[in-house]
Amino acid sequence: MIKKKQVDLGDIKLKEILNLISEQSIQFYENIVETIRDPLMVLDSDLRVLFANRRFYDEFKVTEKETVNNRIYDLGNKQWNIPRLRVLLEEILPKKNRFNDFRIRHNFQSIGKRIMLLNARRITNLPGEQQLILLVIEDVTDRMINEQALQVSEERFRRAFETARDGVLLINKTSGKILISNQAAQNLLGYPIEEMLERKLWEMGFISDTKQFRKLVDQLEEEGFFTLMDVAVKTREGRKISADIYLTNGAKLIQCNIRDITDRKIEEEEIRYIGIHDILTKIYNRTFFEAEISRLEKSRLFPVSIFMIDVDRLKITNDTQGHAKGDELLIRTAQILLDSFRVEDIVARIGGDEFAVILPETNEKASLLALKRINHFLKLNNKNYKDNELKISIGIATLEKQGSLAKTLKCADDLMYLNKRSKERFLDKI
Protein backbone atom coordinates (compact mmCIF):
# COMPACT_ATOMS: atom_id res chain seq x y z
CA MET A 1 0.00 0.00 0.00
CA ILE A 2 1.22 3.58 -0.74
CA LYS A 3 1.97 5.36 2.52
CA LYS A 4 0.18 8.70 2.65
CA LYS A 5 2.80 10.40 4.78
CA GLN A 6 3.37 14.15 4.88
CA VAL A 7 6.27 15.14 2.58
CA ASP A 8 7.11 18.81 2.18
CA LEU A 9 7.17 19.72 -1.50
CA GLY A 10 6.85 23.50 -1.07
CA ASP A 11 3.25 24.46 -1.64
CA ILE A 12 2.05 20.88 -2.33
CA LYS A 13 2.24 17.84 -0.05
CA LEU A 14 2.07 14.18 -1.16
CA LYS A 15 -1.15 13.67 0.81
CA GLU A 16 -2.75 16.58 -0.99
CA ILE A 17 -1.71 15.14 -4.37
CA LEU A 18 -3.08 11.73 -3.54
CA ASN A 19 -6.29 13.27 -2.33
CA LEU A 20 -6.71 14.78 -5.77
CA ILE A 21 -6.78 11.28 -7.28
CA SER A 22 -10.03 9.34 -7.25
CA GLU A 23 -10.31 6.36 -4.94
CA GLN A 24 -10.40 4.07 -7.98
CA SER A 25 -7.10 5.46 -9.30
CA ILE A 26 -5.48 5.13 -5.90
CA GLN A 27 -6.41 1.45 -5.75
CA PHE A 28 -5.10 0.93 -9.27
CA TYR A 29 -1.66 2.38 -8.57
CA GLU A 30 -1.45 0.66 -5.22
CA ASN A 31 -1.97 -2.69 -6.95
CA ILE A 32 0.80 -1.95 -9.43
CA VAL A 33 3.23 -1.04 -6.70
CA GLU A 34 2.39 -4.12 -4.69
CA THR A 35 2.82 -6.61 -7.51
CA ILE A 36 5.51 -5.26 -9.83
CA ARG A 37 8.88 -6.94 -9.51
CA ASP A 38 10.94 -4.27 -11.23
CA PRO A 39 12.17 -1.04 -9.66
CA LEU A 40 9.46 1.66 -9.82
CA MET A 41 9.37 5.38 -9.07
CA VAL A 42 6.52 7.90 -8.95
CA LEU A 43 7.64 11.39 -10.01
CA ASP A 44 5.87 14.73 -9.94
CA SER A 45 5.88 17.20 -12.79
CA ASP A 46 9.18 18.64 -11.55
CA LEU A 47 10.68 15.14 -11.73
CA ARG A 48 10.94 14.85 -7.98
CA VAL A 49 10.55 11.40 -6.50
CA LEU A 50 7.31 11.03 -4.59
CA PHE A 51 7.61 7.31 -4.08
CA ALA A 52 9.87 4.36 -4.92
CA ASN A 53 9.16 0.70 -4.28
CA ARG A 54 11.28 -1.62 -2.20
CA ARG A 55 12.78 -3.27 -5.30
CA PHE A 56 14.19 0.13 -6.37
CA TYR A 57 15.97 0.58 -3.06
CA ASP A 58 17.34 -2.96 -3.12
CA GLU A 59 18.40 -2.86 -6.76
CA PHE A 60 20.23 0.46 -6.65
CA LYS A 61 21.40 0.17 -3.03
CA VAL A 62 19.89 3.45 -1.81
CA THR A 63 17.56 4.38 1.06
CA GLU A 64 14.15 6.05 1.10
CA LYS A 65 15.66 9.11 2.78
CA GLU A 66 18.18 9.47 -0.02
CA THR A 67 15.48 9.14 -2.64
CA VAL A 68 12.10 10.66 -1.80
CA ASN A 69 11.67 14.42 -2.30
CA ASN A 70 14.79 14.60 -4.52
CA ARG A 71 14.89 15.24 -8.24
CA ILE A 72 15.67 12.06 -10.13
CA TYR A 73 18.83 13.59 -11.59
CA ASP A 74 20.23 14.21 -8.10
CA LEU A 75 19.79 10.65 -6.84
CA GLY A 76 22.81 8.65 -5.76
CA ASN A 77 25.37 11.41 -6.17
CA LYS A 78 23.80 12.42 -9.53
CA GLN A 79 24.25 8.94 -11.01
CA TRP A 80 20.81 9.27 -12.63
CA ASN A 81 21.84 12.44 -14.44
CA ILE A 82 21.91 10.55 -17.72
CA PRO A 83 21.58 12.59 -20.96
CA ARG A 84 19.34 10.03 -22.66
CA LEU A 85 17.07 9.90 -19.60
CA ARG A 86 16.77 13.70 -19.66
CA VAL A 87 15.68 13.55 -23.30
CA LEU A 88 13.06 10.94 -22.47
CA LEU A 89 11.58 12.72 -19.47
CA GLU A 90 11.84 16.31 -20.67
CA GLU A 91 11.24 16.05 -24.41
CA ILE A 92 9.67 12.74 -25.44
CA LEU A 93 7.31 12.01 -22.53
CA PRO A 94 5.57 15.45 -22.52
CA LYS A 95 4.66 14.92 -26.17
CA LYS A 96 3.72 11.22 -26.19
CA ASN A 97 2.62 10.62 -22.58
CA ARG A 98 4.42 7.26 -22.63
CA PHE A 99 7.44 5.34 -23.84
CA ASN A 100 8.21 1.63 -23.75
CA ASP A 101 11.42 -0.41 -23.55
CA PHE A 102 13.75 2.53 -24.04
CA ARG A 103 17.22 1.11 -23.57
CA ILE A 104 20.01 2.91 -21.78
CA ARG A 105 23.51 1.80 -20.86
CA HIS A 106 25.06 3.45 -17.86
CA ASN A 107 27.81 2.94 -15.34
CA PHE A 108 26.12 3.35 -11.96
CA GLN A 109 28.41 4.09 -9.05
CA SER A 110 26.59 1.71 -6.74
CA ILE A 111 26.08 -1.29 -9.02
CA GLY A 112 28.43 -0.80 -11.99
CA LYS A 113 27.71 -1.03 -15.72
CA ARG A 114 24.10 -1.95 -16.39
CA ILE A 115 21.69 -2.11 -19.31
CA MET A 116 18.20 -0.83 -18.43
CA LEU A 117 14.85 -0.80 -20.21
CA LEU A 118 12.74 2.19 -19.17
CA ASN A 119 8.94 2.27 -19.35
CA ALA A 120 7.13 5.48 -18.39
CA ARG A 121 3.56 6.77 -18.23
CA ARG A 122 2.54 10.41 -17.72
CA ILE A 123 -0.76 10.71 -15.81
CA THR A 124 -2.48 13.94 -16.76
CA ASN A 125 -6.16 13.42 -15.99
CA LEU A 126 -5.81 14.79 -12.47
CA PRO A 127 -7.65 17.73 -10.83
CA GLY A 128 -5.82 21.00 -10.69
CA GLU A 129 -3.76 20.21 -13.79
CA GLN A 130 -1.42 18.13 -11.67
CA GLN A 131 0.75 15.43 -13.29
CA LEU A 132 2.40 12.24 -12.11
CA ILE A 133 4.96 10.09 -13.89
CA LEU A 134 5.26 6.35 -13.32
CA LEU A 135 8.73 5.13 -14.22
CA VAL A 136 9.52 1.40 -14.25
CA ILE A 137 13.13 0.27 -14.70
CA GLU A 138 13.96 -3.24 -15.90
CA ASP A 139 17.55 -4.39 -15.52
CA VAL A 140 18.22 -6.53 -18.62
CA THR A 141 21.98 -6.73 -18.27
CA ASP A 142 22.12 -10.46 -17.60
CA ARG A 143 19.53 -11.18 -20.27
CA MET A 144 21.45 -9.18 -22.85
CA ILE A 145 24.69 -10.91 -21.94
CA ASN A 146 22.96 -14.30 -22.26
CA GLU A 147 21.41 -13.30 -25.59
CA GLN A 148 24.77 -12.16 -26.91
CA ALA A 149 26.35 -15.41 -25.71
CA LEU A 150 23.52 -17.32 -27.37
CA GLN A 151 24.05 -15.41 -30.61
CA VAL A 152 27.75 -16.24 -30.49
CA SER A 153 26.89 -19.88 -29.73
CA GLU A 154 24.35 -19.97 -32.55
CA GLU A 155 26.85 -18.45 -34.94
CA ARG A 156 29.45 -21.00 -33.97
CA PHE A 157 26.88 -23.78 -34.41
CA ARG A 158 25.87 -22.37 -37.80
CA ARG A 159 29.48 -22.27 -38.98
CA ALA A 160 30.10 -25.79 -37.64
CA PHE A 161 26.81 -26.94 -39.19
CA GLU A 162 27.64 -25.56 -42.62
CA THR A 163 31.28 -26.66 -42.66
CA ALA A 164 30.82 -30.09 -41.10
CA ARG A 165 32.16 -32.98 -43.14
CA ASP A 166 29.27 -35.12 -41.91
CA GLY A 167 25.88 -34.66 -43.45
CA VAL A 168 23.70 -33.04 -40.78
CA LEU A 169 19.90 -33.03 -40.74
CA LEU A 170 17.60 -31.44 -38.18
CA ILE A 171 14.42 -33.51 -37.90
CA ASN A 172 11.00 -32.61 -36.51
CA LYS A 173 10.57 -34.99 -33.59
CA THR A 174 6.82 -35.32 -34.12
CA SER A 175 6.47 -35.61 -37.90
CA GLY A 176 9.89 -36.96 -38.84
CA LYS A 177 10.18 -34.26 -41.51
CA ILE A 178 13.60 -32.88 -42.43
CA LEU A 179 13.58 -29.19 -41.46
CA ILE A 180 17.19 -28.15 -42.04
CA SER A 181 20.03 -29.71 -44.02
CA ASN A 182 23.65 -28.69 -44.44
CA GLN A 183 25.49 -28.71 -47.75
CA ALA A 184 27.38 -31.88 -46.90
CA ALA A 185 24.11 -33.80 -46.52
CA GLN A 186 22.86 -32.49 -49.85
CA ASN A 187 26.09 -33.50 -51.57
CA LEU A 188 26.15 -36.91 -49.91
CA LEU A 189 22.53 -37.82 -50.62
CA GLY A 190 22.24 -36.03 -53.97
CA TYR A 191 19.17 -33.95 -53.10
CA PRO A 192 18.80 -30.22 -53.78
CA ILE A 193 17.70 -28.36 -50.68
CA GLU A 194 14.11 -27.94 -51.94
CA GLU A 195 13.64 -31.70 -52.33
CA MET A 196 15.52 -32.53 -49.15
CA LEU A 197 13.15 -30.47 -47.02
CA GLU A 198 10.13 -32.32 -48.43
CA ARG A 199 11.28 -35.73 -47.24
CA LYS A 200 10.83 -37.73 -44.05
CA LEU A 201 13.69 -39.40 -42.19
CA TRP A 202 12.54 -42.94 -43.03
CA GLU A 203 12.66 -42.07 -46.74
CA MET A 204 16.45 -41.95 -46.43
CA GLY A 205 16.56 -45.76 -46.23
CA PHE A 206 18.08 -46.43 -42.82
CA ILE A 207 14.76 -46.32 -40.94
CA SER A 208 12.01 -48.45 -42.40
CA ASP A 209 8.78 -46.62 -41.47
CA THR A 210 6.93 -44.35 -39.04
CA LYS A 211 6.62 -47.14 -36.50
CA GLN A 212 10.38 -47.57 -36.29
CA PHE A 213 10.76 -43.79 -36.16
CA ARG A 214 8.49 -43.61 -33.09
CA LYS A 215 10.53 -46.34 -31.38
CA LEU A 216 13.66 -44.37 -32.19
CA VAL A 217 12.19 -41.19 -30.70
CA ASP A 218 11.22 -43.06 -27.53
CA GLN A 219 14.75 -44.43 -27.20
CA LEU A 220 16.21 -40.95 -27.74
CA GLU A 221 13.92 -39.54 -25.06
CA GLU A 222 15.24 -42.15 -22.66
CA GLU A 223 18.94 -42.18 -23.56
CA GLY A 224 19.51 -38.84 -25.32
CA PHE A 225 21.80 -40.38 -27.96
CA PHE A 226 21.55 -43.27 -30.38
CA THR A 227 23.87 -44.71 -33.02
CA LEU A 228 23.21 -46.83 -36.09
CA MET A 229 26.47 -48.34 -37.32
CA ASP A 230 27.20 -49.38 -40.89
CA VAL A 231 23.74 -48.95 -42.34
CA ALA A 232 22.67 -48.54 -45.97
CA VAL A 233 21.54 -45.03 -46.88
CA LYS A 234 19.71 -44.47 -50.14
CA THR A 235 20.71 -41.54 -52.36
CA ARG A 236 18.43 -39.66 -54.73
CA GLU A 237 19.69 -41.79 -57.64
CA GLY A 238 18.85 -44.97 -55.74
CA ARG A 239 22.49 -45.77 -55.00
CA LYS A 240 23.20 -47.11 -51.52
CA ILE A 241 26.13 -45.88 -49.48
CA SER A 242 27.46 -47.22 -46.20
CA ALA A 243 27.12 -44.82 -43.30
CA ASP A 244 27.25 -44.48 -39.54
CA ILE A 245 24.26 -42.54 -38.20
CA TYR A 246 24.49 -40.51 -34.99
CA LEU A 247 21.19 -39.25 -33.55
CA THR A 248 21.00 -36.68 -30.75
CA ASN A 249 17.82 -35.76 -28.89
CA GLY A 250 16.62 -32.16 -28.54
CA ALA A 251 13.53 -30.52 -27.09
CA LYS A 252 11.66 -30.40 -30.41
CA LEU A 253 14.26 -31.56 -32.91
CA ILE A 254 16.48 -34.55 -33.57
CA GLN A 255 19.96 -33.91 -34.91
CA CYS A 256 20.96 -36.60 -37.36
CA ASN A 257 24.62 -36.83 -38.43
CA ILE A 258 25.33 -39.03 -41.44
CA ARG A 259 28.95 -40.10 -41.79
CA ASP A 260 29.87 -41.70 -45.10
CA ILE A 261 32.03 -44.75 -44.35
CA THR A 262 32.02 -46.21 -47.86
CA ASP A 263 35.71 -45.51 -48.45
CA ARG A 264 36.57 -46.77 -44.98
CA LYS A 265 34.65 -49.97 -45.59
CA ILE A 266 36.43 -50.48 -48.90
CA GLU A 267 39.76 -50.02 -47.15
CA GLU A 268 38.72 -52.40 -44.38
CA GLU A 269 37.60 -54.97 -46.95
CA GLU A 270 40.90 -54.60 -48.78
CA ILE A 271 42.83 -55.10 -45.56
CA ARG A 272 40.69 -58.09 -44.66
CA TYR A 273 41.11 -59.50 -48.17
CA ILE A 274 44.88 -59.17 -47.97
CA GLY A 275 44.81 -60.81 -44.56
CA ILE A 276 43.14 -63.99 -45.80
CA HIS A 277 44.24 -64.22 -49.44
CA ASP A 278 47.43 -65.13 -51.21
CA ILE A 279 48.69 -62.05 -53.04
CA LEU A 280 49.98 -63.90 -56.10
CA THR A 281 47.17 -66.35 -56.82
CA LYS A 282 44.24 -64.42 -55.19
CA ILE A 283 42.95 -67.58 -53.51
CA TYR A 284 42.79 -68.11 -49.76
CA ASN A 285 46.04 -68.23 -47.76
CA ARG A 286 47.22 -70.52 -44.99
CA THR A 287 45.77 -68.31 -42.22
CA PHE A 288 42.24 -68.61 -43.57
CA PHE A 289 42.70 -72.31 -44.37
CA GLU A 290 43.72 -73.16 -40.81
CA ALA A 291 40.82 -71.14 -39.39
CA GLU A 292 38.42 -73.10 -41.61
CA ILE A 293 39.91 -76.41 -40.45
CA SER A 294 39.22 -75.41 -36.83
CA ARG A 295 35.71 -74.21 -37.67
CA LEU A 296 34.74 -77.31 -39.65
CA GLU A 297 35.99 -79.66 -36.92
CA LYS A 298 33.20 -78.28 -34.71
CA SER A 299 30.55 -78.31 -37.44
CA ARG A 300 28.11 -80.91 -38.67
CA LEU A 301 29.32 -80.74 -42.26
CA PHE A 302 30.79 -84.24 -42.31
CA PRO A 303 32.00 -86.16 -44.19
CA VAL A 304 34.85 -83.77 -45.08
CA SER A 305 37.46 -84.50 -47.76
CA ILE A 306 40.81 -82.73 -48.04
CA PHE A 307 43.03 -82.42 -51.13
CA MET A 308 46.73 -81.68 -50.90
CA ILE A 309 48.32 -80.48 -54.19
CA ASP A 310 51.96 -79.79 -54.93
CA VAL A 311 53.39 -78.17 -58.08
CA ASP A 312 56.02 -80.55 -59.40
CA ARG A 313 59.58 -79.34 -60.09
CA LEU A 314 58.72 -75.66 -59.29
CA LYS A 315 62.24 -74.96 -58.03
CA ILE A 316 63.75 -76.28 -61.23
CA THR A 317 61.47 -74.02 -63.26
CA ASN A 318 62.44 -71.00 -61.15
CA ASP A 319 66.14 -71.81 -61.51
CA THR A 320 66.12 -72.56 -65.24
CA GLN A 321 63.36 -70.34 -66.63
CA GLY A 322 63.08 -67.62 -64.02
CA HIS A 323 60.62 -66.83 -61.25
CA ALA A 324 58.10 -65.32 -63.65
CA LYS A 325 57.62 -68.76 -65.22
CA GLY A 326 57.39 -70.30 -61.75
CA ASP A 327 54.75 -67.73 -60.71
CA GLU A 328 52.87 -68.55 -63.89
CA LEU A 329 52.67 -72.23 -62.84
CA LEU A 330 51.31 -71.23 -59.41
CA ILE A 331 48.65 -68.93 -60.90
CA ARG A 332 47.61 -71.60 -63.41
CA THR A 333 47.32 -74.18 -60.60
CA ALA A 334 45.06 -71.87 -58.59
CA GLN A 335 42.79 -71.31 -61.61
CA ILE A 336 42.54 -75.04 -62.35
CA LEU A 337 41.55 -75.72 -58.75
CA LEU A 338 38.93 -72.95 -58.79
CA ASP A 339 37.46 -74.42 -61.98
CA SER A 340 37.42 -77.92 -60.52
CA PHE A 341 35.73 -77.30 -57.17
CA ARG A 342 32.45 -75.90 -55.88
CA VAL A 343 31.98 -72.36 -54.59
CA GLU A 344 31.58 -73.63 -51.03
CA ASP A 345 34.87 -75.56 -51.17
CA ILE A 346 37.91 -73.83 -49.62
CA VAL A 347 40.78 -73.53 -52.11
CA ALA A 348 44.00 -72.19 -50.57
CA ARG A 349 47.71 -71.82 -51.20
CA ILE A 350 49.32 -72.89 -47.94
CA GLY A 351 53.01 -72.89 -48.89
CA GLY A 352 55.46 -72.02 -51.65
CA ASP A 353 54.41 -74.81 -54.04
CA GLU A 354 51.61 -76.34 -51.93
CA PHE A 355 47.87 -75.97 -52.29
CA ALA A 356 45.05 -77.46 -50.23
CA VAL A 357 41.31 -77.80 -50.69
CA ILE A 358 38.64 -78.53 -48.06
CA LEU A 359 35.41 -80.09 -49.32
CA PRO A 360 32.61 -79.98 -46.69
CA GLU A 361 29.92 -82.66 -46.93
CA THR A 362 31.97 -84.66 -49.44
CA ASN A 363 32.60 -88.38 -49.12
CA GLU A 364 35.41 -90.39 -50.72
CA LYS A 365 33.41 -91.22 -53.85
CA ALA A 366 32.54 -87.57 -54.49
CA SER A 367 36.16 -86.55 -53.90
CA LEU A 368 37.30 -88.92 -56.66
CA LEU A 369 34.92 -87.16 -59.05
CA ALA A 370 36.59 -83.90 -58.10
CA LEU A 371 39.95 -85.51 -58.90
CA LYS A 372 38.72 -86.30 -62.38
CA ARG A 373 37.71 -82.66 -62.85
CA ILE A 374 41.20 -81.54 -61.84
CA ASN A 375 42.80 -83.83 -64.41
CA HIS A 376 40.37 -82.61 -67.04
CA PHE A 377 41.08 -78.89 -66.48
CA LEU A 378 44.81 -79.60 -66.16
CA LYS A 379 44.91 -81.12 -69.65
CA LEU A 380 42.94 -78.21 -71.10
CA ASN A 381 45.23 -75.71 -69.45
CA ASN A 382 48.44 -77.36 -70.65
CA LYS A 383 47.28 -77.14 -74.27
CA ASN A 384 47.77 -73.40 -74.05
CA TYR A 385 51.22 -73.60 -72.41
CA LYS A 386 53.22 -76.15 -74.39
CA ASP A 387 56.51 -74.47 -73.49
CA ASN A 388 55.77 -74.55 -69.74
CA GLU A 389 53.87 -77.73 -68.94
CA LEU A 390 52.24 -77.86 -65.51
CA LYS A 391 52.45 -81.08 -63.51
CA ILE A 392 51.04 -81.57 -60.02
CA SER A 393 50.99 -84.25 -57.33
CA ILE A 394 47.80 -84.89 -55.38
CA GLY A 395 46.84 -86.62 -52.13
CA ILE A 396 43.25 -87.10 -50.91
CA ALA A 397 41.88 -88.08 -47.49
CA THR A 398 38.32 -88.19 -46.16
CA LEU A 399 36.99 -87.99 -42.59
CA GLU A 400 33.53 -89.57 -42.54
CA LYS A 401 32.53 -88.52 -39.02
CA GLN A 402 33.36 -85.60 -36.77
CA GLY A 403 36.95 -85.81 -35.60
CA SER A 404 40.42 -84.40 -36.14
CA LEU A 405 40.76 -82.73 -39.53
CA ALA A 406 44.40 -82.03 -38.71
CA LYS A 407 45.03 -85.78 -38.91
CA THR A 408 43.05 -85.95 -42.16
CA LEU A 409 45.19 -83.15 -43.57
CA LYS A 410 48.36 -85.01 -42.53
CA CYS A 411 47.09 -88.15 -44.23
CA ALA A 412 46.36 -86.25 -47.47
CA ASP A 413 49.79 -84.64 -47.28
CA ASP A 414 51.49 -88.01 -46.86
CA LEU A 415 49.63 -89.44 -49.86
CA MET A 416 50.54 -86.40 -51.94
CA TYR A 417 54.25 -86.94 -51.17
CA LEU A 418 53.94 -90.60 -52.06
CA ASN A 419 52.50 -89.57 -55.40
CA LYS A 420 55.25 -87.02 -55.89
CA ARG A 421 58.07 -89.48 -55.01
CA SER A 422 56.73 -92.16 -57.31
CA LYS A 423 56.91 -89.73 -60.22
CA GLU A 424 60.40 -88.61 -59.23
CA ARG A 425 61.61 -92.21 -59.01
CA PHE A 426 60.15 -92.83 -62.43
CA LEU A 427 61.97 -89.78 -63.83
CA ASP A 428 65.19 -90.91 -62.20
CA LYS A 429 64.97 -94.21 -64.04
CA ILE A 430 64.62 -92.54 -67.40
User: Residue 135 belongs to a domain with what CATH number?
Assistant: 3.30.450.20
**Same-domain check for residues 55 and 119:** yes
Model-level pTM greater than 0.75? Answer: no
What is the C-alpha to C-alpha distance for residues 381 and 312, in angstroms, rounded to an integer?
A: 16
**Same-domain check for residues 252 and 289:** no
* Predicted local confidence at residue 8, as pLDDT: 43
Distances in Å between the Cα of 253 and the Cα atoms of 25, 105, 225 are 49, 37, 13
User: Residue 320 belongs to a domain with what CATH number?
Assistant: 3.30.70.270
Q: What is the pLDDT along the chain (430 residues), one digit of tens a residue?
A: 444 444 344 344 444 555 555 555 656 655 666 567 788 888 888 888 888 888 888 888 888 888 889 998 888 778 888 888 888 888 878 888 888 888 888 888 778 888 888 888 887 776 656 778 888 888 888 777 766 655 655 566 566 666 678 888 888 888 889 888 888 888 888 888 888 888 888 887 777 888 888 888 888 888 888 888 888 888 888 888 888 988 888 878 888 888 888 888 888 888 899 999 999 999 999 999 999 999 999 999 999 999 999 999 999 999 999 999 999 999 999 999 999 999 999 999 999 999 999 999 999 999 999 999 999 999 999 999 888 899 999 999 999 999 899 999 999 999 999 998 887 665 454 4
Helices marked H in 277-322: 286-297, 314-321
Domain boundary among 113, 144, 175: 144
What is the C-alpha to C-alpha distance for residues 140 and 114, in angstroms, rounded to an integer?
A: 8
DSSP state, residue 48: B
Q: Which residues of 148-176 are buried (b: 16+ CB within 10 A; e: fewer)?
A: eeeeeeeeeeeeebeeeebbbbbbebeeb
Q: Is residue 152 part of a domain?
A: no
**Same-domain check for residues 214 and 355:** no
- Other Cβ atoms within 10 Å of 75 Cβ, number: 19
- The count of domains in the chain is 3
* Predicted local confidence at residue 361, as pLDDT: 95
Q: Is residue 1 part of a domain?
A: no
Instruction: Compute φ and ψ for 81, nearest 5 degrees.
Output: -80, 75
CA angle 188, 191, 196 (to 5 degrees): 110
Which residues constitute the domain of residue 250? 164-261
**Same-domain check for residues 344 and 397:** yes
Q: Is residue 14 part of a domain?
A: yes
Domain boundary among 83, 109, 144: 144
* Predicted local confidence at residue 9, as pLDDT: 40
**Same-domain check for residues 178 and 313:** no
Backbone dihedral region for residue 390 (phi beyond 0: left; psi -120 to 50: alpha; all else: beta): beta
**Same-domain check for residues 36 and 136:** yes
What is the C-alpha to C-alpha distance for residues 177 and 73, in angstroms, rounded to an integer?
A: 57
Domain boundary among 228, 261, 294: 261
Burial of 239 (0-12, 13-18, 19+ CB in 10 A): exposed
Q: Is residue 113 part of a domain?
A: yes
User: What strands, in cross-sheet order, belong to the sheet with 167-172?
Assistant: 178-181, 167-172, 253-260, 240-249, 225-234
